Amino acid sequence: MIKHKTPIVPKKLIIPFVLVTSLFALWGFANAITDPMVQAFKKVLELSNSEAAWIQMAFYGGYFCMALPAALFVKKYSYKKGILVGLILYSIGALLFYPAAITEQFWFFCLGLYILTFGLAFLETTANPYILSMGDSRTAIQRLNLAQLFNPLGLIGGLVIAQQFILKNLKSDDIYDFSSLEETSKIVIRSSDLIVIRNPYVVLGLFVIGMFFIILFSKMPETKNNDKIKGLKKIIISLIKNYKYVGGVFAQTLYVGAQIMCWTYIYQYSEGIGINAENAANFQFIAFILFFIGRGTGTFLLKYIRSNDLMLIFAIMASIFSFGTIFNQGYFGLYCLISISFFMSIMFPTIYGLSLKGLNEEECKIGAAGLVMAIVGGALMPALQGMIIDIGGVAVNDIKILGVSEVNFSFTLPLLCFMYIIFYSKTIVK
């Protein structure tokens, strides 16, 4: 048990902390509002499943491609400039949805998302280590969990916007067989639906521009490092030799994969027990709420429990509920699935903080890139889970594997991810 009187955020840094923390909601919002777009684009633009999947590939591809350049930029200049560049790219990507809707070209929408996530890569690569640096190192992980509390608020907001302002207003969604319509009718509906999809992104882009000017004219601290600045090659070699950091990057890859799997396949799991997509969305909403509550609870408990010990407890509980998801049929299994979100809540910021703990500022700036690139797990792991679900055919419960349906069995993947996090918490960062 640990308890310290050191403030989580020094008084002189409260305003910069609040400003940077507000950015955490932006990538949560973008994640939540983009997920339903896969199905929306598939129908209105008459895409195949593989073509529609380019939405997620564009989204996570932007993270992967831009994380290291973002880290190098921050290393050369400053945290504040990194945030400003991130906000510019974010707004450009969101505003590209306007011409994309006019041209009605799917690749244009993908380009917008790709550039938008360039901005998110800059923001995440910058904001996370920036928050860690705003105060005493002993409270760094607790401080990051507090800032990350705003991320699920963005998730909830994005899901609400997607449900209320996009999905409910799509005319194509009211038509069972959209492809069978006459071309003139398709054109009218397609134009209308693409405008519905466009509008929230345009509003988001304008909001981000406002955030840009607020940050631009605000006084932001820049931490100083007295150590001799190493070259990039030396920093990378040093990080590779740091087993705690390397293990943390792998843990982060698996965690993000587990998170996206547990949220994405709520719909398929619900389908397997006879729940339609509209009602399944309500369970996803509950999962986001539990995620928010869990992160708040975890942030409080970090005042008394060491970060690796708390993550160990949460990972064990996530594993237990994963077992419940796999081996229980019906609503009880679904309740187990959404309960996992509570125990996933602290993992991203805690893994992030533990991985960078003990590194100097220059190493943190580059090390942050690897942890953001690890977000690509959100693209790779769900694809593997989808392959498991498709083993028996197009339905989610065509066959049984080890006595359970294929969709139930597919959740062995998140279970394995949580088991590694148990290992990381207990062994690597003990």
CATH number of the CATH domain containing 134:
1.20.1250.20
Amino acid at the residue 400: K
Query: Do 156 and 260 fall into the same domain?
Result: no
Q: Using CA of residue 44, residue 47, residue 50, residue 54, what is the dihedral sign?
A: negative
Do 256 and 213 fall into the same domain?
A: no
Total of domains in the chain: 2
pLDDT in tens, 22-77: 999 988 898 888 777 766 787 788 876 557 768 877 888 888 889 889 988 988 88
CA distance 134 to 139: 10
Domain with 188 in it = 1-221
Please report, for residues 62, 91, 210, 363, the alpha-carbon distance to residue 203 in angstroms, rounded to integers and kept in the order given. 21, 10, 11, 37
Task: Assess whether pLDDT exceeds 70 at residue 229.
Answer: no
Q: Which residue has the higher pLDDT, 344 or 379?
A: 344
Alpha-helical regions (H) of 96-219? 97-103, 106-133, 140-148, 150-161, 183-216
pLDDT digits (tens, 9 = 90+) for 288-309: 999 999 999 998 998 899 999 9
Arithmetic mean of pLDDT over the chain: 87
pTM for this model (two decimals)? 0.80
Q: Tell me, what DSSP letter sits at residue 171?
A: G
Reply yes or no on whether the pLDDT at 173 is more than 80. no
- Looking at the fold, whether 253 and 216 belong to one and the same domain comes out as no
One domain, residues 157 and 251:
no
Q: Are residues 145 and 237 in the same domain?
A: no
Amino acid at 184: T
pLDDT of residue 4 exceeding 60? no
* Residue with more model confidence, 251 or 385: 251
Of 46, 328, 92, the C-alpha closest to 201 is 92
Output the pLDDT for position 49: 55
Residues 187 and 262 both lie in one domain: no
Residue 223 confidence class, pLDDT cut points 50, 70, 90: low
Confidence of residue 175 (pLDDT cuts 50, 70, 90): confident
Determine the average pLDDT of the residues in 364-375. 87
Among 200, 221, 242, the domain-final residue is: 221
Residues 185 and 238 in one domain: no
Based on the fold, state whether residues 267 and 186 are members of the same structural domain: no
48 and 155, same domain (yes or no): yes
Other Cβ atoms closer than 10 A to 278: 11
Answer yes or no: do 195 and 269 share one domain: no
Last-in-domain residue among 160, 193, 221: 221
Per-residue pLDDT reduced to its tens digit, 107-123? 999 999 999 999 999 99
Confirm if 262 and 414 have CB atoms less than 8 A apart: yes
Residue whose structure tokens are 């004219």: 217
If pLDDT is split at 50, 70 and 90, which confidence band does 129 have? confident
Of residues 132 and 5, more confidence is placed in 132
179 and 310 share a domain?
A: no
Shared domain check, 369 and 290: yes
Q: What percent of the chain has pLDDT over 90?
A: 43
Residues 368/125, Cβ–Cβ less than 8 Å: yes
Domain boundary among 221, 253, 277: 221
> Would you tell me how many other CB atoms lie within 10 Å of the CB of residue 275?
17
